A and B are shown apart, each in its own frame.
Chain A
Amino acid sequence: MSRRHPFTLLALVAALTALAWILPAPAGGLGTAAAALALAAAAGPRRVLVPALVTAAPFWLFLLLLHDVPSTIAIGLRLTTMIASVVWVGALLPPGRLVEAMVAAGWGVTAAYLFAAALSAVPLLKARAQRIVDAQRCRGLSPRGGLGRRLRALRALALPLVLSVLHEVDERALALETRGFVPGARRTPLAPPRDGTGERAARWLLLVACGAALAWRIAWRG
């Protein structure tokens, strides 16, 4: 799947999410959640499936506190579909490849960069946060203990992360400008992902499927 065109992967995520909310619960949500979790499992049980399940778990807990069991199942399956498919595409799609696809498709380079920067920020922030945790622990900060202690520790961990990121935004903006990155500029895609007829057809098919499901749902309700 990772060799598929980025737009195909995104279309699949969008279609699964749309269908999860369009199709009647709980069967519809069950089907889409099963599909999303199957994709995540195929991409790597530990690398993708487990993070998706761990992310979804608190939502199920909160839903159970707020709703009755049938509503929890209905909404929970839909949320699980969204979370699993987003985690799946995040693990499968390198931001640089998405930018190349967007630029090749005629998108503005600014929009493409913003989209990709948002996707690539997570692992970078995670690595930086780990460096800060390590450095502060080596200065004697204990991240364990009671709630008050943990909150005090959080300040020493979160503040440097935010400050250093804000500081880097300035430097990165300057670096981009000096390399000719200005709004409206046209960028040459060096290695645009291959977009075959079959994939384009598949994306249209997903769109049609979502439209049909929506029409059927409206008619069925009527």
Chain B
Amino acid sequence: MAAVSAELRFGQVSFSYGTVPALRDVSFALAPGERAALLGRNGAGKSTLLRLVTGLLHPAAGKVSVGDWDTRGRAPESLARRVGSVFQHADQQLFARSLRDDVAFGPRALGLAAAEVARRVDGALAALELSAHAAEHPYDLPPAFRKLAALAGAFALEPAVLVLDEPTAGLDRPLRARVARALSERAAAGVVVLVATHDLAFAAEVLERGLVLDRGRLAWDAPLAALLTSSERLTPLGLAPPVGAALSAALDLPGRPVRERDVAHTLARVAAARGRV
């Protein structure tokens, strides 16, 4: 999996909070356009890993690279040119008088020209279908939309790497689908997408590779579908398969699909082949 042209690379990274180890000897690489789920129990080290990517933390040992940049010695505001991030409680960062102004905050902080800022903001708002709310005050929007607003702010940086911490928490099904579409579009444009989540149904729909942390160690790094259809592998890691993947595994569907739509199509095909439809 270690692509030569990796956009994001962890090389034997370890990190501790004081004497408490949070990450131990973690290595992986994500190529441009790859979509990875970062999974694991609470306290497994997911948020720490994301903070290492953004430069808010620096590894005690090993190396984190974003493209040809070593994050060590780079401040988060410098890495923002390549890394877009949305953390939990992201709605607390909003402050401008309109959604448009808030989304423009990042590109303006990077010193981009006004026309370029406007282009990026329009693109980010459109990607998340927020253009109709552009003139509204962020705090007049429902909490779920404020979360999307924070995500639009990260999109507007047009980063090479997007790291998101629980981006679907509190979102209903249509909004989750909106986020899924937007992330897929970004990945298709070559952006690395790394999502820490407990929402395995969302992960199954959008993400293709699974990185599972267990007590700070990388316990799994392989295609997500293979993980989601294997209860024997999921259970020891404190994870449960989403409904579609569980059904796919229980019925031993050909190709073991995990996306709901793929499971439904496969079921229909199998049923049709047996002459029941």
Contacts and interface: CB of A to CB of B under 8 A. Distances in A.
A138 B85 contact: yes
Contact of B93 (A142, A155, A160): A160
Contact of B157 (A131, A140, A160): A140
Given A134-B76, A134-B87, A139 B153 contact: yes
Interface residues of A, number: 19
A200 B237 CA distance: 54
A126 to B, nearest CB: 14
Contacts, number: 70
A110 interface: no
B77 A142 contact: yes
A132 interface: yes
Contact of A138 (B76, B94, B95): B76
B10 interface: no
A200 B51 CA distance: 50
A46 to B, nearest CB: 13
B92 A138 contact: no
Contacts of B79: 138
**Max chain B C-beta neighbours (<10 A), residue from A132, A140, A160, A164:** A140
B129 to A, nearest CB: 21
A147 interface: no
B178 interface: no
A164 B150 CA distance: 14
Interface string A140-181: 111000000000000110011001100100000000000000
Contacts of B106: 139-140
Interface string A94-138: 000000000000000000000000000000000010011011111
A141 B75 CA distance: 10
Nearest to B108: A140
A139 B93 contact: yes
Given A142-B77, A163-B139, A137 B157 contact: no
B250 to A, nearest CB: 41
Interface residues of B, number: 30
A56 B83 CA distance: 41
A153 to B, nearest CB: 9
Interface in B106-125: 106-107, 109-110
Contact of B95 (A131, A137, A140, A163): A163
Q: Classify the secondary structure of B's interface with A.
A: helix
Nearest to B110: A140
B139 A138 contact: no
B76 A156 contact: no
Contacts of A138: 54, 56, 76-77, 79-80, 83-85, 87
B105 interface: yes
A203 to B, nearest CB: 38
Contacts of A141: 77, 105, 109
A132 B92 contact: yes
Nearest to A137: B76
B140 to A, nearest CB: 11
A140 B81 contact: yes
Interface in B42-93: 51, 54, 56, 75-77, 79-81, 83-85, 87, 89-93
B163 to A, nearest CB: 9
A132 B94 CA distance: 9
A139 B92 contact: no
A137 B75 contact: yes
A158 B83 CA distance: 24
Interface of A: 128, 131-132, 134-142, 155-156, 159-160, 163-164, 167
Given A140-B105, A140-B107, A160-B95, 4 more contacts: A131-B89, A139-B154, A141-B77, A155-B95
